[in-house]
Structure 1
Amino acid sequence: MTLDGDLKKEAWWAVADFHPFTTEVRGIPANQIRKSWCKATEFRKDLIPKELLFEGSADVMKAAGMSFAIEGRFDGTATLQVAVVGVFQECAGPKGRFFLILDQPAGGTPRIRFVDAVRTNRQFGALQKGQGGSIVAWECMECDGSSVLKWDRKKRKFGWVPQPEEQ
């Protein structure tokens, strides 16, 4: 990760440029997540300088209830799932942020249940458990830039919950 901006004027997540360096996420090759990807790296706290994530001894993300990975039974089944965010790079060069939900079967190989990816120069993303088994995906730490994903029983798939228009 490199910072491309002035930390006195902007938050670190707004000026962070993440550089993917792994070719798989939780054992799944990047090109199996999306064919055009050569690299994909899941965000982890140990990849970000400690002084950015902690104010004194306080973990800023934890205090906000945010994480780079959360576990749950988001589709209401007995199978445990993990939702993760990270950065990808296409083989042609463009980078962006991804949001991935994987089934975590006991003793089995993780299986992709949901992928959302957007090309962007600002790849930061974080997750939070929402109400009713939903997942809140954030593109910043102190803003209104969030989206809610929830399992739709009728459609039998994950979908973004429409947000009311701001007045």
Structure 2
Amino acid sequence: MDTAIEGIPVQQIRPDWIRASILTKESIPPKAFQEDGGRDSMADARVAFSRDGDFNGDGIPDKAVVGTYEDRKGGLGQFLLILTRGTGEAWKVLFVDVAAGKPGFSALRAKGKRLQWWFCMQCDDFVEVLWDAKKKTFRLKSGMP
């Protein structure tokens, strides 16, 4: 795990974190995303560990990433981090949410201008990542009916 994500020290993302890493295909076993015959199930499902877009509609580039973290108490989990371009073109934190517990697979899917945080490609375990213009923050809504 790393001590910075996209140049931002992890303690600036969440003060209780000591390490965190963005998921990459290189960081997980190939069998987690390759089907028999070598097909890329992530590509087939249109999910990725990182997505670029303008998720809050302000005209400034944003980047959403998913990964794993470890906190000061030894706790582990998954995270969703949305960054936006700040002054000087450096990334700054726009939103972060965690799923505490055993770290594992999660990925992002873009549905038009909407973003979804998936925890399983073979099931419908995901949340919608929605921009709340009144509160000027994101909120998560279960994707399950």
| TM-score, length-scaled by structure 1 | 0.79
Report deviation, 1:155.
2.2
Who wins on radius of gyration, i.e. which is larger? 1
- The alignment's C-alpha RMSD in Å is 1.8
Aligned AA (2:94): R
Q: 1:78 aligns with which of 59, 66, 88?
A: 59
* Structure 1 residue aligned with 2:100: 119
Single out whichever of 116-125 and 99-108 deviates more from structure 2: 99-108
The one-character-per-residue Cα deviations of 1:72-103 (angstroms, maximum 9, x if unpaired) are: 01111221111000000012201000000001
Q: Which runs of 5+ in 2 are unaligned?
A: none
Q: Using the alignment, how far apart are the partners of 1:130 and 1:106 within structure 2?
A: 29
* Structure 2 residue aligned with 1:23: 3
If each structure's strand is expressed as a fraction of its own residues, which one has the higher value? Answer: 2
Report deviation, 1:45.
0.9
* Structure 2 residue aligned with 1:69: 50
Report deviation, 1:52.
3.1
Report deviation, 1:162.
5.7
* Structure 1 residue aligned with 2:80: 99
Please tell me whether the aligned partners of residues 124 and 140 of structure 1 are also in contact (alpha carbons under 8 angstroms): yes
Q: Using the alignment, how far apart are the partners of 1:105 and 1:64 within structure 2?
A: 32
Single out whichever of 43-52 and 81-90 deviates more from structure 2: 43-52
Q: Which runs of 5+ in 1 are unaligned?
A: 1-20
Report deviation, 1:22.
0.9
